[in-house]
Amino acid sequence: MLGVNLRPAVARFWAPVVRGLLKVGVTANTVTLVGTVGAIASAVFGIGTGHLFWGALAVTFFVLLDMLDGALARARGGGSVFGAVLDSTGDRAADAAIFGGLVWWFSGAGDNRLLVLLALLCLVLGVLTSYVKARAEGVGLSADVGIVERTERLILVLVGTGFSGLGIPYAVHVALWVLLVGSAVTVAQRFTAVRRESRGMQLPSRPAGESTGRPAS
C-alpha cells in the first residue's frame, strides 16, 4: 500500500518539526485539529471557489499534518484512544470537504454536471471504503486490503484538481474516473476479504430487544 511505503519518508521530513513541537508542549490532538480545520478551510475557500491549484496545494499541506500528529503521539510515548478516534473523524471530515468543494464549484461557476456526479460517487465510495474496514474490525475481522486507500485517494483527487487549476485539460476528469473505478474495486475487495474471513462465524445471540450488533440505519 502506498500509504505504508510513504510513511517512513514523511516521518523523516517531519522529524525536526516533531522535536520542536515537543519542546513547546504542542500535543498530537492539537495538530490533528489544526490539520483538519486547515484542510476543510482550504477545500471550501480554495477548491470551492475555483482556485483549484492553490486550493489543492493548501489542502495537501494540511493533509500531511495527518502523519505529523501520529509521529508526535509516538514521540510522547503513544497515542490515546480519544486521539485515534479524533484523527479518524478528522480524516473523514477533510475528505468530505475536498469532494464537497469540487461539487460546489462544478455545480455552480464550474458548470460541469458530470464532474459533480463523479465527485459525489467518489465521496460515497470513499466513505464505504473506510466504513467496511471499521465495521469489520468492530467484529474482530480485518479488511486492510484494496488498491485505493486514503493515500491513493488523496493523491488522485488533489493532483487531478491541481493540474486542472494549471489549465491541463481533463486532468480532474481522468483523476475522478480512475478514482471511481479504483474505489469500487477496493470496496469489492474489502467485502470479499470480510466474507472469506467470516465463514462459519456468527454474531453472539442476544436477548430479545437488545442490539444485534448491526448499526442503526
Q: Which residues are marked as active site?
A: 91
Quote the cell numbers at residue 212: 444485534
Question: Which cell goes with 75?
Answer: 514521540
Distance, in Å, from the CA atom of 197 to the CA atom of 116, rounded to the nearest integer, reads 36
Radius of gyration of the CA atoms of the chain, in A:
19
- Are the beta carbons of 157 and 105 closer than 8 angstroms? no
Which triple of cell numbers denotes residue 164? 486542472
Whether the CB-CB separation of 11 and 67 falls below 8 Å is answered with yes
Cα 97 from Cα 188, distance rounded (Å):
25
DSSP reduced 3-state for 201 = coil
The answer to whether 137 and 77 have CB atoms below 8 angstroms apart is no
Nine cell digits for residue 34: 489544526
How far from 5 is each of 32, 205, 217, CA to CA, in Å? 22, 41, 36
CA 125 to chain centre: 11
